[in-house]
Amino acid sequence: MERAALIVSMLVLACAPADPSGYEPGEERSGGDTTVFDTSRAAYSISARNLTFDERSRFLVGNNFFGDNWVVAPSSTSARDGLGPLHNALSCGSCHLFDGRGEPPGEGEEMVSMLVRLSVPGQDAHGGPLGEPTYGGQLQPRAIPGVPAEGATHLAWEEVPGAYEDGEAYSLRRPILTIDTLAYGPMHDDVMTSARVAPPVYGLGLLEAVPDATLLALADPNDADGDGISGRINHVWDAARGETAIGRFGWKATQPSIHQQTAGAFLGDLGITTSLFPSQECSEREAECRAATTGGEPECEDDILDFVVFYGQTLAVPARRDADDPDVLHGKRLFRDAGCASCHVPRLETGEHEITALADQIIYPYTDMLLHDVGEGLADHRPDFEADGREWRTPPLWGIGLLQTVNRHQLLMHDGRARGLAEAILWHGGEAEASREAFRAMSRDEREALLRFLESL
């Protein structure tokens, strides 16, 4: 495996552009041949452009099951019944609005596209987090009639003042989470919580197609090169294969495949069982949940799950805008010089994949899919497989410049605390502290150029 990783590392270097901070012909095609050229509100919701006619038909069926609401069983709509008993949402699309990023609730509002993970100290049989004994792995604030919802979540914000080195002031906001109206008694005294917004779902198939050897080549868990960056792989449980695998998806890289990510979301978010996760997560105290009528065994048949998985695999990445603009290229150089590209790796190549359209593509995701310590300010102090409480997976940056257009907000980071790209950079600490300080030390013109580059992604 190490030899394979070395070979991939050499190939990556051999294929890298001569001037990584200059314009690289074709870099506007963020998803290679799959790239979609669309800057409308639908930019995240279009299929890979190189799918066959039959594959596009399959994508459209998956889109229907992704967006349509599930209903309470029993129902005449047998293909979509079985919602809950406990759940967070009615459909995949209600959290991943327009296939983009969720957001934290406004003052006095309920969480809609955000959830709260729960665990207690210890590990489950596969090395994953140990769910809270009564409420499980995530709080479900909604339920079908006759079943009490688990509780309610609330977010408040605390302003944290700061200033750039040129004296210009800024303010960050830190979330304060509270949980109340618990229906099944108090939580464990040592419960750990982690509030997370729904991440965007476009481009996932391309990330799935990046070979394991590439990630192994990028990882530097002991910082052997001494650059202060020690990206680590999260080894997680692959339920379908019954073995440990490399984690790629989710805020802490806890899911090894889109299939498992999708099946896990069906169960945790919608309360829908699948052949991969066939049992409801109702605890001993949740008697009404355990007695509720099901929508079948499983509630989501394999063919429907496959359609939704295919949809998630083949959502295209939007093309960059103004990639050769001088201001954008200036920002690109500043991004590289600040060390941001050490984790937000610009260029990767996909390998083999069951979907031919995703294979052998040069892509520009701006991620290494590895875990990094990003400091105490962002820590949730909740271990998740091998990720510790200060580590998060480097999120891809492709498409981020269209967030305002598609999702009508610019709330970033895992819990939506950052009100724009500048605040997101300023929240970085740990391994990224030097990059943050480089940004903080830039002149206003330089900061705007770097942000202009990010907006072009």
**pLDDT averaged over consecutive 10-residue blocks of the chain (457 residues)?**
45 53 93 98 98 98 97 88 96 96 92 97 97 98 98 96 98 97 98 98 98 98 93 98 98 98 98 97 96 95 98 98 97 98 98 98 98 98 98 98 98 98 98 98 98 98
SS3 call for 447:
helix
Residue 317 corresponds to which tokens in the numbers above? 């990445």
Q: How far apart are CA 385 and CA 125, in angstroms?
A: 11
- Predicted confidence at residue 21, as pLDDT, reads 73
Enter the DSSP assignment of 143: E
Distance CA 106, CA 371 (A): 30
Q: Residue 28 in contact with residue 40, Cβ under 8 Å? A: no
Tokens 């294929």 locate to: 15
The full DSSP string for 43-103 is TTS-B-TT--HHHHHHHHHHHHHHHSPPBPSS-S-GGGB---SEES-SSHHHHSGGGS---
Separation in Å, CA 457 to CA 147, 280, 329, 332: 45, 40, 12, 10
**Distance from C-alpha of 294 to C-alpha of 279, rounded to nearest angstrom:** 10
Query: What is the spatial distance between Cα 195 and Cα 197, in angstroms, rounded to a whole number?
Result: 7
Q: Which alpha helices (H) appear in 219-352, and where do they start and end?
A: 258-265, 287-291, 302-314, 326-337
Tell me which residue has tokens 């590895």: 370
Pairing of strands 86-87, 142-143: antiparallel
Report the pLDDT value the prediction gives residue 408, as an integer from 0 to 100.
97
> Looking at residue 205, what is its pLDDT?
98
Q: What share of the chain is helix, strand, coil (3-state, %, to 5)?
A: 30, 20, 50
* Residues 364, 346 contacting (CB under 8 angstroms): yes
Q: CA Rg, the chain, in Å?
A: 22
The residues, any chain, with a CB within 8 Å of residue 263's CB and separated by 6 or more, are 239, 274, 276, 277, 305
Residue 231 pLDDT: 95
pLDDT at 107: 83
Task: Give the model's pLDDT for residue 77.
Answer: 82
Separation between Cα atoms, residue 193 and residue 195, nearest integer Å: 7
What 8-state DSSP symbol labels residue 270?
I
Residues 6+ apart with CB under 8 A from 360: 349, 350, 351, 352
Q: How far apart are CA 453 and CA 457, in angstroms?
A: 7
pLDDT of residue 78: 78
- Which among 126, 408, 372 is positioned nearest to 230, based on CA atoms? 372
CA 5/CA 11 separation, integer angstroms: 10
Token pair for residue 87?
A: 């759940």
pLDDT at 161: 98
Is residue 280 within 8 Å of residue 296, measured between CB atoms?
A: no
Nearest partner of 293 among 273, 321, 268, 263, judged by Cα: 273
| pLDDT, position 135 | 98
